[in-house]
Amino acid sequence: MEIKFDTKVYDLLKAYPALIDVLVNLSPRYKKLKNPILKRTIARLASLRQASYLGGFTPVELVNTLRAEVGQNPITDDMKEEEVSTILPSWAQNEPAAYMNATQVLDEDKNPLKLINKEYKKIKTDEVILLESDFVPSPLIDEMRKKDATVVVIVHEEKEGWFKTFIQK
């Protein structure tokens, strides 16, 4: 299997099981992949591009490190997509209907996507969920957009290295 930016973490580890140790050595954040529940859920959704942000890497750094481990040549990334906005839309400025700290949820070996889905079902149209994390929650963003949610991520103004993700139903 060729390792690419859109390769799902689950598929990577299925094809190259030894890479789990490489990932864990790269970032302690990837230790969560050893949790069978998170491995079956989040790893199936997350591409290497998305997982790179969780570990604090650029997609090129992560993918090419993994490619080198299995003897594949480096590749370049032509995608210039930016997940983080500099503008907070007016709909995100009201009091959120629900709040979650995704970093804390992951530290407790829980699945933030599952918990956000529960909250999303509870809120009314035009209400907002605020998610704080020390990473850009790309897989969660993609899943919420599939539900036609409006999502914006901004840099947290009070916590360095943190982000606020606003999800509107």
Q: Which amino acid is at 33?
A: L
Q: How far apart are the first and last CA of the chain?
A: 38
Could you read off the pLDDT of 110-121 as tens digits, one per residue? Answer: 888 899 999 999
Torsion of CA 130, 131, 137, 142, to 10 degrees: -40
**Token reading at 79:** 């995608």
Half-sphere exposure of 122 (CA within 13 A, CB side): 10
pLDDT < 70 stretches in the chain: 79-82
Could you read off the pLDDT of 24-58 as tens digits, one per residue? Answer: 999 988 988 888 877 777 788 888 988 888 888 88
- pTM to 2 decimals? 0.67
In the chain the domains, ranked by start, together with CATH numbers, are 9-69 (no CATH), 84-168 (3.30.110)
Confirm if 139 and 50 have CB atoms less than 8 A apart: yes
